Amino acid sequence: MKKIVFVGAGSVVFTQGLLADLVAFPELRGMRIALHDIDPERLRVAEAVARRITGHAAVVTSHLDRREALDGADFVINMVQVGGHDATVTDFEIPARYGLRQTIADTIGVGGVFRALRTFPLLDALAADISAVCPDALLLNYTNPMAMNVWYLSGKVKNVVGLCHSVYWTMRGLAELVSVPYEEVSYVAAGVNHQAWVLRFERDGEDLYPRLDVDDPELRRRVRIDMYRRLGYYPTETSEHSAEYVPWLMRHDREIDRLRIPVGEYVRISEDNLAEYRRTRDLVRNGGELDIAGTDEYAPQIIHSIVTGTPRVVYGNVVNDGLISNLPHGCVVEVPCAVDGTGVRPTAIGALPPQCAALNRGYVNVNELTVRAALEGDPRHVRHALMVDPNTAASLPLEDIWRMADDLTRAHGDLLPEALR
């Protein structure tokens, strides 16, 4: 049976959800699950959780050695967060000293850039191991910043797709908002990760967009609704995310209040994740019952489709080889992908609405300069990426941007590529 490797399996709660999704498919019974993490305690907890969830449905092994885990893999799921909670706090605290506000800080912006730079050395090592022991494996990346990481990996591994649940849960939320069962909705979205656009939203040929045009004062206090009203298309990530990818919100107290933007939100989320891990660890140690629930994530669906030939459509982050005509060739875009026994095939969308493409191009500029900084070993490009980042450029003068980059470089130290320290 197929071998599935979890890299960063110590992300126990996420690992638990993916395993629950996998064992829900009877056709995958007998699969081999190899868990890898560099933290021995987290790995032990992940293994205990995996054995409880899978029972006799899978053969579970755990490995501190990554290459050992990857040997003979068919699918590799990457969910590593390099630097963990401490690095996340650094990504918020240092910019805050300069007056720069962030909400999630994992996609673009200061937090996204430095999270990418911390992750690239891990991706180099992971790609080398895959090339050595499982070159035909499909790498399914969940690690943020999604677009930068997939762009960096392109050319380093044969098969990589970035996966994010933002489109799926956006459409779930929109269906609920307009009181239509999700199963009756048809839709198409495309753009870049965390800033794709709902291009079509229908039921039985009826355009459902007009149902969003209600005069609800509370609804208008959401960033995504505000963007939809002004741009004509709904963005596919939460308001917390969407607020920090544009230049006109985060620096203004009035907008923070009007749109109820939760500054510093991801620090709180990260603290909650740590607490949830500790709770799971203690339940495992004491023999308590785990709350096991599926998550409807794309990775298990892709694996099931490839193994069984079952056709599906998922949303994937892939290199733009003519898929979106008015975004740069070679960048990473998020588009619908057909999946079956032959693999994952991205769908060409054509041109995005010009206003949507214009915002996406600003996002892509940050991606490109960050990836170039690492590939070319040029620390100036780190600063250039921050200079063109919408929120950073709108909030800080250039001298502060460069000084902030210096401070973050010193703070993250050995986690960054050597040439960029």
Residues classed as catalytic: 165
3-state secondary structure (DSSP) of residue 135:
coil
Q: How many CB atoms lie within 10 A of CB 367?
A: 28
Cα distances (angstroms) measured from residue 140 to each of 112, 146, 163, 389: 20, 11, 7, 27
* Residue among 207, 228, 206, 204 at smallest CA distance from 216: 228
Cα distances (angstroms) measured from residue 7 to each of 65, 226, 341: 10, 38, 24
Phi, psi for 207 (deg, rounded to 5): -70, 120
Place of tokens 């609704």: 225
CA dist., res. 301 & res. 339, Å (int): 9
Which two three-digit tokens encode residue 225?
């609704």
CA dihedral angle for residue 82, residue 88, residue 91, residue 97, rounded to 10 degrees: -150
Which two three-digit tokens encode residue 113?
């850039």
CA dist., res. 327 & res. 129, Å (int): 32
Q: Which alpha helices (DSSP H) does 287-420 contain, by range?
A: 298-308, 354-376, 379-388, 390-395, 398-412
CA dist., res. 38 & res. 49, Å (int): 17
Cα distances (angstroms) measured from residue 348 to each of 5, 166, 359: 30, 20, 20
Q: 247: which residues sit within 8 A by CB, 6+ positions away?
A: 390, 391, 393, 394
CB environment 31-61: b (16+ within 10 A), e (fewer): bbbbbbbeeeebbbbbbbbbebbbeebbebb
